[in-house]
A and B are shown apart, each in its own frame.
Chain A
């Protein structure tokens, strides 16, 4: 098995796991969103790595070049970047709304407040 041949994929997976850890382990809602965006960029890295061709150049047709990298993954990721920013914006707006309603943005404190309200 070739170690260098898969290094890009492994870095993408490592980033995804850092993101997954941040989403599950951290209580602060903005930190969870940071983890989510790390996970998203790791998927972008995986796709762009798949689209790369050795010795290729950017997929803009020009004279003197015959080998191009795969343009389709680039198109997919362009769409995904814009959508990821849209989801991040909604997530941050939700965080701000939660902070204004509950006065905190740590998920265990929010849960405690919810439970106290249920008991009343």
Chain B
């Protein structure tokens, strides 16, 4: 049921021409996704999604729309080619899922490979009962450091893109 709501808000966010409404729908979509993560046992992902997806992304979107414009112009040409491309790709992907293990199957390859090792040893080795936290901060600490680098680079990029323009405009005026 939640999945259907998620799909509906996702389609509506793309369908609408008013970008402000689209951004709000994307926020609702993220919040529904967060609820879905709780249902699927991913609580850590759920509160990251609720804070970052529903909060920060919506704020960024609204800020960008405020700086540009809120109305999308009507289409010039009929989008048959992209529609056909999306439908064919989707059909092929669905064909690919037929061989996948059933949803929630405890014997699926993803469940029997290395995941049991972490579930059994994470608490003894790191002292953290939350396995997600222990893998993120301890076993894969270097990856998380890399992630921080990515976020830092992105922040630098935004500052350079927006700050550089302001400086150029100032030199134009003088």
Contacts and interface: CB of A to CB of B under 8 A. Distances in A.
Chain B contact patch, size range = 35 or more
26 contacts: A5-B103, A13-B94, A15-B6, A16-B93, A26-B72, A31-B19, A34-B14, A34-B61, A48-B42, A48-B45, A51-B41, A52-B103, A53-B106, A59-B132, A60-B131, A60-B132, A61-B123, A70-B110, A71-B131, A71-B135, A74-B45, A81-B52, A82-B147, A85-B52, A93-B161, A96-B162
Contacts of B64: 30, 92-93, 95-96
A62 B151 contact: no
B97 to A, nearest CB: 4
B138 to A, nearest CB: 11
A81 B48 contact: yes
Interface residues of A, number: 82
Interface string B45-81: 1001100110011001101110111001101100101
B43 A58 contact: yes
Interface of A: 1-2, 4-11, 13-22, 24-28, 30-31, 34-35, 37-38, 41, 44-45, 48-62, 67-75, 77-79, 81-83, 85-90, 92-97, 99-101, 105-106, 108
A90 B157 contact: yes
Contact of B76 (A75, A85, A95, A108): A108
